[in-house]
Structure 1
């Protein structure tokens, strides 16, 4: 492997990692501040609107980026998406200064559009490596979410203090941090080498300055034929189903855990400790998930993740008030089970999809998965109101084992 190839790969991985870390930092901090602003100004009943705006924006951004990447390349698409996110962060900052809900939500929606492209960065990282290393490559970018998960909350207090020092509303501080973070992500995307494309079209040769290929002598296949040929339905349906159900399980239990803790008299310190265990599970061990996917296959990582999610739900059901033991363990397992499914499913999509349809399918899968978060956020509240935290845990556990039961039934035929 040439020095220029290694340098280009390293440069690309650094840019992709930085973009994900910075977008996640912006999203976590801005989303938390916006939730508090909306709750204070419009009442707790509307406090979920920033989360819905973020999820819908991310879903739309992933769908759009998946269609633009084959045409315009990773540098243009990511830089454009991150630039849009920076503009959205500015709008949200203006809304935070004026404590106005409409610009705040519009800004978060635009930040979500950029975040949708950031989510697809893991696939771009995987495409830089041979198949036996793709799981580790994409998991490295997923691990970048750890930076945002830690930096976003950690920067909130100093940012709020700095805003107050300028005479601004304190919660405008995290919005200002989001402006800087999204602008930094756009700058990082500009460092992507021109010759490193997203999932390559058939016939394109990688390499600096590679000329466009000659038109093929035989007529190209129709996209539908390509999807039915190299891409078997199991190549995307199974990881799609597993990732959606894992997202539903994770989002439902995670969303209701703070409500459960507060209902039993615990303060924000306890809530933060339990959610920190969850975030650690979601991101910090992503490289381990990537190695499992590369060593034993993506389907093994997916099935293991679904099993861990079921165990997490069972632990939450068995210890619904154990804030120093059972719940932190349950939320850690919940995060890591999701990570195994997310990395394993992504590795399978990166490996099994045909190049001519890959980015479109990957973008569609991400859009569906993020839409599932919105559904889980709405449904978990209804479940909690109807049957408490235990019902949420039971439903989450059932959703996690459904793909395992279906796979076992198929294998038993």
Structure 2
């Protein structure tokens, strides 16, 4: 599988299916593993350190996006995807061993678990970059739909993954292992599956020479309106989504609602984030990536206005706001990814995709860290209002986004 290579319909169907299975398997690994790792670290060293495993996964994903995109440029998409998933297998094994080691030394166990989450993050980078691999196999007029099918795979991990934690713990205890190892042992199996299906993708062809692209070329690309719009849309959507989503459970808890209400509201959010991805892809192919980004920005603004006006409505207001927050993010995500999947030379495209992915995941960390002090100082409604203003930023770039500057290599 290579960028810019014609793909038969049979190969396209098989490869898209393999990419989708890989994403599903990796999400079934990452979502429960992050949840359990947070709980384990909190239990070992206190709640103040509970966010470290999640942050480690984000760092691993950002680093993986950068490093794997370089591998893909010099050795092809398949090599990069297989490498990322293979590192995740190792990460899952180390995580299981970390839980066992923690029964003897908390410091050793915690250190191993954080390192394991970085490795799992590298696997997650393969899952994130898979949508670009799917887009490569589709003609330009269907590229948005192709990548959206792979994004849709995140639905399974987001909705099913957490429900697997308890059964995995029971199975681990049944064979004499610590209960918390169960999720990581399960992750070994799912990451092996992701690696195996990635290895069945068509043999890749490199699209660039070994080594890095020159900084002048990268700077020229980053000045084009196409790249600026894609980066701005994806980063602002990620910041807005993460900041509001992170503080919503705390807002509900503050007003006396239990985990059942929190789960219902977050389920609506996850459905918005992933379930309608094929619709977003169709819209992108029909109306263009810029129109999809515009729609996503408007939906994000509306979502945050609803959260601002109904910050305590757990039956209608917040579920609707969080669903729209997820779908606005999805529209910007699919639209921005589509822009980065076309209009650019293939070697540069791969490098930019990895770089943008790293920035997007870095913005996740910024959004989650910044949201807390804003919530504490001004409250949930003011946080939503600030998010609404930020969500409108991509709309200001759309008038200049019609130009298609050439980027020389």
TM-score of the pair, normalised by structure 1: 0.89
Match of 1:189? 198
In structure 2, C-alpha distance between the alignment counterparts of 1:409 and 1:72, rounded to whole Å: 35
2:8 aligns to what SS in structure 1? helix
> 1:4 Cα shift?
8.4
> 1:162 Cα shift?
1.4
Match of 1:31? 34
> 1:226 Cα shift?
6.0
| RMSD value, Cα | 2.2
1:343 aligns to what SS in structure 2? helix
> 1:391 Cα shift?
2.3
Is 2:89 aligned against 1:86? yes
Q: Which moved more, 1:295-304 or 1:350-359?
A: 350-359
Is 2:337 aligned against 1:346? yes
Is 2:364 aligned against 1:373? yes
Structure 1: tracts of 5 or more residues without a match? 203-221
In structure 2, C-alpha distance between the alignment counterparts of 1:249 and 1:50, rounded to whole Å: 22
> 1:316 Cα shift?
1.1
Match of 1:209? none
Does the C-alpha gap of structure 1 residues 149 and 197 become closer, same or farther in structure 2, counting only changes over 3 Å? farther
> 1:410 Cα shift?
9.3
Is 2:258 aligned against 1:267? yes
TM-score of the pair, normalised by structure 2: 0.90
Structure 2: tracts of 5 or more residues without a match? 1-5, 103-108, 403-409
Match of 2:65? 62
Q: Which moved more, 1:159-168 or 1:130-139?
A: 159-168
Counterpart among 321, 328, 334 of residue 337 in structure 1: 328
> 1:157 Cα shift?
1.7
In structure 1, C-alpha distance between the alignment counterparts of 2:383 and 2:7, rounded to whole Å: 52
Contact between 2:143 and 2:338, CA under 8 Å: does it hold in 1?
yes
1:342 aligns to what SS in structure 2? helix
> 1:408 Cα shift?
6.1
Contact between 1:16 and 1:125, CA under 8 Å: does it hold in 2?
yes
Number of aligned residue pairs: give it: 388
Match of 2:295? 304
In structure 2, C-alpha distance between the alignment counterparts of 1:4 and 1:267, rounded to whole Å: 50
> 1:133 Cα shift?
0.4
Match of 1:153? 162
Deviation by residue 1:52-78 (Cα, 9 ceiling, x = unmatched): 101110011001111110211122221
Counterpart among 182, 188, 191 of residue 173 in structure 1: 182
Match of 1:214? none
Counterpart among 29, 50, 53 of residue 56 in structure 2: 53
Match of 1:95? 98
